[in-house]
Amino acid sequence: MYKISVDLVSAVEDFYPGLSLKEIETIAKDIHDSWDYSSIYDELVEQLEVVADNNGINLDGKDGIEQIEKPKVSALLDPPIRPREYTPENDPFGGH
């Protein structure tokens, strides 16, 4: 229903009307063959979020990606430090 498209031959010709048809087609083909479409999607998602926000449309949780709840992890603490019981054999001060 809503579609954005660009006729590359017409666009090249609009920008550089002095080019020959062969030059226009060479440039248009090369652009077509090497175009990185991810930039279009980056711009689209940015616009989508702005428009949704401006129209009060909440997008949270509607992206089709199931959120997996992370398990709560309690910190494991080192066992409590217990005072060492010294005997004359293991006392570093020799029992004094």
Name the residue range of residue 15's domain.
8-54
Phi, psi dihedrals of residue 48, rounded to the nearest 5°: -60, -45
On whether residue 92 sits in a domain, the answer given is: no
Q: Is 19 helix (H, G, I), strand (E, B) or coil?
A: coil
- Tokens describing residue 85: 């019981």
On whether residue 96 sits in a domain, the answer given is: no
Give the number of other Cβ atoms within 10 Å of residue 24's Cβ: 19
On whether residue 21 sits in a domain, the answer given is: yes
Number of domains the chain contains: 1
- pTM (2 d.p.): 0.55
- Tokens describing residue 65: 């990606």
On whether residue 71 sits in a domain, the answer given is: no
33 burial (CB, 10 Å; 0-12 / 13-18 / 19+) is: exposed
On whether residue 15 sits in a domain, the answer given is: yes
What is the distance between the alpha carbons of residues 68 and 23, in angstroms, rounded to a whole number? 53
The pLDDT value given to residue 25: 98
The pLDDT value given to residue 41: 92
43-93 pLDDT per residue, tens? 999 999 999 999 999 999 888 887 777 777 665 666 666 666 767 777 777
On whether residue 28 sits in a domain, the answer given is: yes
What is the distance between the alpha carbons of residues 95 and 87, in angstroms, rounded to a whole number? 7
Give the pLDDT band of residue 20 (cuts 50, 70, 90): very high
